[in-house]
Structure 1
Amino acid sequence: MMLPARTKCYPGWTIEYYGYLMSEYDYSHSRHEYVCVDHAPEINPKSYKNLNGASMYIVQAMCGSLPCPPYENGQELSCVVCSKY
């Protein structure tokens, strides 16, 4: 389970990884998929070419759509991916 704007899992759950909430650039104010990207991503050394694929951007808090405080306008949002077996 991915929890946006958090760095810890609920009690009884295991952290798989934590990082930053990311999405595509907001060109059209339409729906987007949000993904949690590891805080220390690794690259594939064989994928050195830029083929102008999809770009990901860190999601930032915006006061009004989120309550400020506790969020700060422009704050990068964290995330955590948790599992429970």
Structure 2
Amino acid sequence: MPLTATPSVRYWARVRRATWGLLGLWLTVTVALPWFARDLDAWHVGGFPLGYWMSAHGAILFFLMVLVIDVLLMEHIDRLERRDRQRASAASGEHA
């Protein structure tokens, strides 16, 4: 992304990067957890196989964690966008 990109272009580039990263994380857990479920079943927790616990509870907690990370990340990106817009308006005001 060039330094001369507008705040809007930088904002949407950050949003796309964050979205793709979180989608990749989600896809990894969605595919990897069932893939390795039999390997996890070698261990037991509370009388149930670990694969069951991870599928029934771990994945749900992980997906909730992804949502929380998304909210925090988007708040951070929004703060950066506001800062960029303030700097752009201050710079345009100085040259006017």
Q: Indicate the TM-score class for this superposition, using the shorter chain for normalisation.
A: under 0.3
Structure number with the higher helix fraction is 2
- What TM-score, normalized to structure 1? 0.27
- The structure that is strand-richer by fraction is 1
